[in-house]
């Protein structure tokens, strides 16, 4: 009867924001999980779209279709 410690019903899940590294909650209270804020989420998404979606250095070679003038035969 001497114990006054209450255990929390649920420990909030804490993780690090993948963007800025600050601790952030992973439960429903955090709408931007796993990020710490909307800003970090948007930044990360922007990074993803601009960086990893585009494949740099991949260009189609020129096709030999630029000389089609000879088709004007009437």
Contact residues toward Zn ion (CB under 5 A) are 17, 19-20, 36, 40
Minimal distance in Å, beta carbon 18 to Zn ion?
8
Looking at beta carbons only, is 23 or 66 nearer to Zn ion?
23
Q: Report in angstroms how near the CB of residue 33 gets to Zn ion at its nearest.
A: 11
- State the number of CA atoms in the 13 A half-sphere of 33 facing the CB: 12
> In the complex with Zn ion, which residue's Cβ is closer, 15 or 20?
20
Task: Return d(Cα 28, Cα 44) in angstroms, integer.
Answer: 20
Q: Which is nearer to Zn ion, 49 or 54 (CB)?
A: 49
Q: Report CA-CA distances (Å) from 30 to 22, 40, 47.
A: 14, 13, 21
**Least gap, CB of 52 to Zn ion (angstroms):** 19
Distance of CA 23 to the CA centre of its chain: 18
């Amino acid at each position: 009867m001497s114990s006054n410690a209450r255990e929390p019903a649920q420990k909030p899940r804490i993780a690090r924001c993948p963007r800025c590294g600050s601790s952030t909650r992973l439960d429903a209270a955090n709408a931007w999980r796993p990020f710490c804020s909307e800003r970090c989420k948007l930044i990360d998404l922007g990074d993803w779209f601009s960086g990893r979606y585009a494949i740099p250095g991949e260009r189609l070679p020129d096709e030999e279709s630029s000389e089609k003038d000879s088709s004007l035969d009437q």
